[in-house]
Structure 1
Amino acid sequence: MYFKIVPMRDRGIARSWEEIGRDRPIRGDVNIRHEMCKIMNRDSNIARIRPVMPLDPELLPPLIDAFLSGMATNAFTLSGIEEVDGRLYAQSWYCRPE
């Protein structure tokens, strides 16, 4: 299922709702799988955004240890950890249906 996704943090620092609302959402298919995570050296729930065109690159770094942290009538939030430049940061995705 395709969603409009907006990252809620920048290198672990929370963004304001005004900034999140102004940001252009990423359109993609949210996919969550339980798989081996090389970074953590263990199994993890990993969320990925699959691009609209199959050969396009990933649009955001995957969320490691992904979990549903909030849900309302027309949106939900996935939270977890992302790797950016070899470092791990907290991250959440604000997801709305198209």
Structure 2
Amino acid sequence: MQYEVLPLFERGKRKPKKAYSSAPRISACVQMNKSLQTPLGRESRVAHAYTGPGVSELPELYEAHVDGIAVLAFTIEGVEFIDGQMYQQAWHCRLPEHKIQVPWNLCPRGPLDELL
């Protein structure tokens, strides 16, 4: 599915929370699957964030798991490899704002709505 992804760490160090609102989010198709071939030398759950066909702006997350989930967003945690070094990473994923539909706005309006 298509999400707006925000990496929460930079080379293993958490970014300041003030930077979250101003940081650009990456629009990507997020997928998680098991892979037999990983830099860890064993089977691992891997998260991918594809921005195009076979193109990814973010390094893959290994040992990925969903850490927190809410109605319109979730967080995936894992480790990434940058320049041969392993770093902690988490992605905050949310639906693109233009796709959020509030359930009570989806129903057709009726004559009783005028009374509210």
Deviation at 1:37, TM superposition (A): 3.5
Query: Equivalents in 2 of 1:18, 1:75: separation in Å?
Result: 19
Residue of structure 2 in register with 1:73 after alignment: 71
RMSD: 1.1
Looking at CA atoms only, which structure, 1 or 2, has the larger radius of gyration? 2
Structure 1 runs (4+) greater than 3 angstroms displaced = none
Q: Does 1:14 align with 2:23?
A: no
- Say which structure, 1 or 2, has more relative contact order (CA 8 Å, 6+ apart): 1
Aligned to 1:84: 82
Q: How many residue pairs align between the two structures?
A: 96
The answer to whether 1:58 aligns with 2:56 is yes
Deviates more, 1:2-11 or 1:72-81: 72-81
- Any stretches of 5+ residues in structure 2 without a counterpart? 97-116
Checking the alignment, whether the CA contact within 8 Å between 1:7 and 1:20 is kept in structure 2 is no
Q: Percent identity?
A: 29
TM-score normalised according to structure 2 size:
0.78
3-state SS in 1 of match to 2:29: strand
Alignment partner of 1:42: what SS?
coil
Q: If the length of structure 1 is used for normalisation, what is the TM-score?
A: 0.92
What do residues 42-74 of structure 1 show as CA deviations (whole Å, max 9, x unaligned)? 0000000111x315x311000000000111122
* CA distance in 2 between partners of 1:27 and 1:16 (Å): 21
Corresponding residue number in structure 1 for 2:27: 27
Structure richer in strand, relative to its length: 1
Contact 1:3–1:97 (Cα < 8 Å) also in 2: yes
What is the rounded CA distance, in whole Å, between the counterparts of 2:29 and 2:88 in structure 1?
Answer: 21
